[in-house]
Structure 1
Amino acid sequence: MAARQALQVHLDLLSQPCRALHILLACTRLPHTVRHVALRRGEHRTPEFTEINPMQKVPVMVDNGFILTESDAIIKYLVNKYDVPDHWYPRQPERRARVDEYTAWHHTHTRPHAAKVFLLEVLLPAQTGSPVEEQRLIGALSQLQETLDQLESMFLRRQPFLCGDDITVADLLAVCELMQPEGGGAGHPAGSPPASALEESSSSCCGRRLRPGARRAVRPERPAPRQAVTSHRGAGPAD
């Protein structure tokens, strides 16, 4: 019988979904190896990586020969298959449905609206050499503020986490997206304490569960603006 191959994940930690997966693996201490894929150097377009994922996006998981793409699918596969604490993706149907409800909403609201702010403030000026388009950025910030208001009224309400009293995979996905605009110096739109509160609660909760070397993944150091611009060029292909 062939020996079981170790779980592998292909990541670029400049990608928000990759960071969410990385934090989950660190918090749950699932044995795995990381293959770093530098999007800024075009490593996702190499023949070797394209063979694994023809869509040329990260993250990608390889579990004993089983290849899976899309961050939401990978995260839920791991918590379903392996022995991890139930709070990450509860087995109780109603509680699990709440997590699924948020993750479905996430990909049409939190993710695109937070990413748009970062795109307009950091990526496009870096790629074109043009100044920030203030009116478009104001519109994007307004849209993100509306999303944060909905996030509070629909999900957070008066509970500490998106789906209840303990952290779930939904919180990891949300926090990694909401931290991204801060990398460009935008921070959260004015008057959005729910986003900051969720970020602090999730970071604190993950911090208690992370082995020492992994804590920086929860709240990475903000690089100098020019470094952030350079390192994120071409960093679009993330699931």
Structure 2
Amino acid sequence: MVLKLYLDLMSQPSRALYILFKSAKCDFEKKLVDLRKGEHFTDEFTAINRLQKVPVIEHDGFILTESVAIIKYLSRENLIPDVLYPKESKLQARIDEFLEWQHLGLRQHCAMFFRVKILDPTFTGKAPDVKTLLGYEKRMISALETFEKHWLQNGTQFVAGDTITVADLLAACELEQPRAAGYEPADNFKGISTWWKKVPEHFNPYYDEAHVVINKVTEKNKLAAKL
């Protein structure tokens, strides 16, 4: 069996899959794709993923894109533990419910705040428009409020129940983006803070390993904000 994971650790779902693979003791080959250098636009990578995005897996010649689809495939292939993506119908449906919601409910808003505040100015050399940035920040905060109220304040310890699953891993990796842009979700949402601490505790040392690059960005931006 040959399993390859194409990723960039600046990408939230890339980090989530990397952590998942490592914690599941998957025998895989890490294939780095540097998004900042535009390597995802090369002919070589486009031949692997016509959508020119990461993450992507190649499993014995079978290529699959999209993190949620990859997780479900890995589960069917028995490559990840059932405890992280249970096969029991109702619990799996509860996890899928979150995975369907998080694309537009959480990921979009956290990612866009990071992009407008950090990525776009880095590539263009222009400071973000204050009004535009505030609009993205407002939508992100609203998304965090919804996440805390409807997914963490449901009488359970984790997103989909009292056991940690892939839903928690994907959510935690998403919240690292606003943190890197100078907004600390844990400082502003008690429920998120309590839950968030449990995710690295469960997945370490791989959670910290996957976040070395984004943590450097976080510290760099904190330093720049003080100047």
1:216 alignment partner AA: D
CA contact (8 A) 1:160 1:201 kept: no
1:204 alignment partner AA: E
Moved more, 182-191 or 40-49: 182-191
In the alignment, which residue of structure 2 is the partner of 1:186?
183
In the alignment, which residue of structure 1 is the partner of 2:31?
35
In structure 2, distance between residues paired with 1:20 and 1:67: 18
CA contact (8 A) 1:114 1:177 kept: yes
In the alignment, which residue of structure 2 is the partner of 1:235?
none
CA contact (8 A) 2:187 2:193 kept: no
In the alignment, which residue of structure 2 is the partner of 1:223?
216
In structure 1, distance between residues paired with 2:210 and 2:35: 20
CA contact (8 A) 1:175 1:198 kept: no
In the alignment, which residue of structure 1 is the partner of 2:101?
105
% identity of equivalent residues: 38
Which of the numbers 170, 173, 179 marks the counterpart of 2:170?
173
With structure 2 as the length reference, what TM-score do the two structures score?
0.88
Secondary structure in structure 2 of the residue aligned to 1:144: helix
Can you give the 5+ residue segments of structure 1 that lack an aligned partner in the other structure? 229-239
Secondary structure in structure 2 of the residue aligned to 1:9: strand
* Number of residue equivalences: 219
Secondary structure in structure 1 of the residue aligned to 2:9: coil
Distance 1:73 1:97, change over 3 A: same
- The 5 A counterparts of 1:158-169 are 158-169=155-166
- The 5 A counterparts of 1:131-150 are 131-150=127-146
CA RMSD of aligned residues (A): 2.1
CA offsets per residue over residues 130-155 of structure 1, 9 Å max, x none? 22322222222221222122112222
Offset, 1:226: 9.6
Distance 1:134 1:197, change over 3 A: farther
Which of the numbers 181, 193, 196 marks the counterpart of 1:196?
193
CA contact (8 A) 2:180 2:217 kept: no
With structure 1 as the length reference, what TM-score do the two structures score?
0.84
Offset, 1:65: 0.9
2:208 alignment partner AA: R
Moved more, 43-52 or 110-119: 43-52
1:166 alignment partner AA: T
Distance 1:196 1:134, change over 3 A: farther
In the alignment, which residue of structure 2 is the partner of 1:68?
64
CA contact (8 A) 2:3 2:57 kept: yes
Distance 1:165 1:189, change over 3 A: closer
Offset, 1:37: 0.8
Distance 1:226 1:201, change over 3 A: closer
Can you give the 5+ residue segments of structure 2 that lack an aligned partner in the other structure? 222-227
Offset, 1:99: 0.4
